[in-house]
Amino acid sequence: MVWIRQVKPEETLEMMAKIERVREDHDDFRSFIPRWYTLNR
């Protein structure tokens, strides 16, 4: 977040959405394997 705010602040909301998706995919980082990977097996 520090980088995006300094380099491209206009993309902060988009980056936050991407971070949130990754966080959800990895169960708040309790899982190394993303949820989408195990659902598609």
The confidence score (pLDDT) of residue 2 equals 87
Task: Tell whether pTM > 0.85.
Answer: no
Displacement of CA 12 from its chain's centroid (Å): 13
- CA dist 4 → 25, 32, 40 (Å): 21, 25, 32
The token duo for 28 is 């708040």
Residue 4 structure tokens: 């995006």
Sequential pLDDT tens for the chain (41 residues): 888 889 999 999 999 999 999 999 999 999 999 999 988 77
